[in-house]
Structure 1
Amino acid sequence: MERGLGTTHPSRWASSPTAPPAPTLVPMSTPAAPATGTASVRIALAAVAFSVLLLAAKLLLAWITGSTAILSDGIESSANVLTSAFAAFAAWLGSRPRDADHPYGHGKVEYFSVALEGVLLSVAAVLIAIVAIPRVLDPPDVTALDVGAIGMALIALVTAAGARFLVRRGRTLQSPALEADGKHLMADAITSSGVFVGITLVHVTGLPVLDPLVAVLIAGLILFNAVRILRQAIAGLMDEADPVLLDDIARVLEEHRQPGWLAPHLTRVHRLGQAVHIDLHLVLPRYWSIDRGHDAATVIEKAMQQRFGTRNETMVHMEPCTPISCPYCDVEDCPVRESPFSGTLPWSGESIRRGSRAEAIAHTTGEGKAPRAPAPDTLR
């Protein structure tokens, strides 16, 4: 006789003629996973070249106009060149396959790239403040304002377009380093727009003090953006729960749900750069054989790979059902049913992250508290 899930004795139901058919491995309809690795590195290298061109353009305009605001924007771009270079390295290293020394791969390095970006932006903000504040007290002359204004307007537009591309591709390729680099560029586009406004105001009002004041404001905006980026890096390094990602996992489970799948819970997700590692617990009928439970786990693993990419790894811990699941179990002619079927429960990111099946059921049914745990002998 085959052993049932979670049993220590042969199950009398494993070969029962009334047992429902085992789940089949059906073709998945989720979109194919996006390409990673080489594409990420190629885009990151292009971002480095793009940042160098932006830096050169801003330094040229700062030399022509003598504008403190444009110089401050150039200092930020110098930080962006360094962070883009490290993002390219992180994308390359993070795309390398797992090895004996790194069983979960190298993806976490991308969060170090994000952290470095936050640190360098903080340094840039301080340097800008050091340069700009004395010039507020003694404003320098600013020349060729029309050239500076037109140049900064063009730079802001080009930077915004590049930033949108990087953020979009970073999300598609699941690369935190590329996405953070794109968000930095978007903040750079905003500060360049602010410089354009400041130079225009100086040209209209004839007040040169407005130029270093805009630079001080830019320093504050850069520091704010640096703190936000550091917060993102810390969240990734510490595997902070992502409600959006949990909802996505619950949606995949719902789309591929089969009879006998009950109360997924204790779902934990590790973001590993361009890869995702998922641990979840799934309740299955206690009379099912290990083979049948493994088939169900394989369906889930393939579904998650097609949604999150072939580098995704999903570990499914199978638990035997107990009587509290009977009202929500859709297995027909179940030989161990103790209460009538009342309907399946919908799954959400909040329910699948609960610490036990009882809590997951209680959250979904809105009972407010978990049902009493069954006696140990009901697991057999």
Structure 2
Amino acid sequence: MATESSNGLVKRLAFWGIPLSIGVMALKLVAWKVTGSVALLSDGLESTVNVVAAVVAFFVIRYAQKPADSSHPYGHHKAEYFSAVLEGVLIVVAALLILQEAVAALPNPKLLEAPVLGLAINSLAGVINGAWALTLIRVGKTHRSPALQADGHHVLSDVVTSGGVLIGLVLAIVTGYAILDPLLAILVALNIIFQGWKVISHSVAGLMDQAVEPEEEEAIKQAIKENCEGSLGVHYLRSRRAGAATFVAFDLVVPSSMTVGDAHVICDRLEMALHKALPGTRVTIHVEPENEMAHGNGVEI
């Protein structure tokens, strides 16, 4: 029931990201029209990518939450990573579009028209985006949704853009140096490229079955240590993250004389402890007699 509620919240946020991103894009394009600023145009161009990313995230999250089936017995969780990778690529594309516009404006920079109104409109868009980005990142982390987190970081990079643009354009107005407008757009674009690379690298790590975070691994070890009574220990501990799901597997060593039933009781106890430590964890335990040699290169406990 809790998982269904969590999935529903993630899907609702992903859906509402679409109209919200369209509204913010419209505000930014109005700000550009009012001022004629290339930096504000660049900011607006990035928001068009936000719209595409929000649509992609919504449909991918819906697919990722489909239950396991015969073709995908481990579920569809990794679909979210594809969305996150695409979003990272879109962030970089947006930055390149900004660079193109900014470099083209360098030879002939212009002072802004109606700067106060334009900056006020753009500031409103930035405040809306900031609140939305923090919400997406918080919920994405809580409910382990890579697509939602990537969308949040993407929107947050948009907030950084808007903040940088606002500060730079105020300086341009105060000093009269129109060249600050395109220069600012270039600096912001470089920062956006960096943010896009972080989103891509994190998502690729998930696709490559990266192990859980160190603090989560420590929680797994602690749960095993406290609940493996009756066994002779655990070795070959492995973990991986696939979207909202966490997979844990290890070998449980028991006395050769122990019955299958007694070993099963220990396994049940360990599974319950791991589910409590990390809700939603999928646990695989291989029971081995004491004279078996340890396998592989997993973490030892």
TM-score under structure 1 normalisation?
0.73
What whole-Å deviation, never above 9, does each CA across 1:144-202 have from its counterpart, x for those lacking one?
11123333333323222111111111111111100111111122111111011011111
Match of 2:287 among 296, 305, 318: 318
Match of 2:119 among 134, 146, 149: 149
What whole-Å deviation, never above 9, does each CA across 1:21-44 have from its counterpart, x for those lacking one?
xxxxxxxxxxx7683322221110
Match of 1:299 among 256, 269, 273: 269
Distance 1:186 1:292, change over 3 A: same
What number of residue pairs does the alignment pair up?
298
What corresponds to 2:43 in structure 1?
A: 73
Amino acid at match of 1:248: A
What whole-Å deviation, never above 9, does each CA across 1:322-354 have from its counterpart, x for those lacking one?
699xxxxxxxxxxxxxxxxxxxxxxxxxxxx98
Q: Does 1:230 align with 2:200?
A: yes
What corresponds to 1:249 in structure 2?
A: 220
What corresponds to 2:297 in structure 1?
A: 355
TM-score under structure 2 normalisation?
0.91
Give, in whole Å, the separation in 1 of the partners of 2:264 and 2:76: 29
Give, in whole Å, the separation in 2 of the partners of 1:113 and 1:150: 33
1:329-368 paired onto structure 2 within 5 Å: 355=297, 360=300
Match of 1:129 among 80, 90, 99: 99
Q: Does 1:105 align with 2:75?
A: yes
Residue 320 (structure 1) shift: 2.7
Q: Does 1:174 align with 2:144?
A: yes
- Contact 1:180/1:229, CA 8 A, preserved across alignment: yes
1:195-214 paired onto structure 2 within 5 Å: 195-214=165-184
Match of 1:279 among 249, 257, 260: 249
Distance 1:96 1:194, change over 3 A: same
Of all paired residues, the percent bearing the same amino acid is 36
Amino acid at match of 1:68: V
Q: What is the RMSD computed on CA atoms of the aligned residues? A: 2.3
**Partner SS state of residue 102, structure 1:** coil
Residue 264 (structure 1) shift: 2.7
Distance 1:110 1:130, change over 3 A: same
1:84-123 paired onto structure 2 within 5 Å: 84-123=54-93
Q: Which runs of 5+ in 1 are unaligned?
A: 1-31, 325-352, 362-380
Match of 1:55 among 5, 19, 25: 25
Give, in whole Å, the separation in 2 of the partners of 1:289 and 1:66: 79
Give, in whole Å, the separation in 1 of the partners of 2:163 and 2:268: 51
**Partner SS state of residue 360, structure 1:** coil
**Partner SS state of residue 256, structure 2:** coil
Amino acid at match of 2:297: G
- Contact 1:99/1:105, CA 8 A, preserved across alignment: yes
**Partner SS state of residue 148, structure 1:** helix
**Partner SS state of residue 85, structure 2:** helix
Distance 1:176 1:323, change over 3 A: closer
Amino acid at match of 1:276: T
Give, in whole Å, the separation in 2 of the partners of 1:35 and 1:253: 28
What whole-Å deviation, never above 9, does each CA across 1:254-306 have from its counterpart, x for those lacking one?
4x524234443322223222222221222233332111111111122233334
- Contact 1:73/1:191, CA 8 A, preserved across alignment: yes
Query: Structure 1 residue runs of 4+, over 6 Å off?
Result: none
Q: Which moved more, 1:141-150 or 1:52-61?
A: 141-150
What corresponds to 1:164 in structure 2?
A: 134
Amino acid at match of 1:360: E
Give, in whole Å, the separation in 1 of the partners of 2:79 and 2:255: 41
Distance 1:156 1:39, change over 3 A: same
Give, in whole Å, the separation in 1 of the partners of 2:122 and 2:237: 48
Q: Tell me which protein shows more helix as a share of its residues.
A: 2
Relative contact order higher in (CA < 8 Å, ≥ 6 apart): 1
What whole-Å deviation, never above 9, does each CA across 1:228-256 have from its counterpart, x for those lacking one?
111011101001223333223223334x5
Residue 227 (structure 1) shift: 0.8
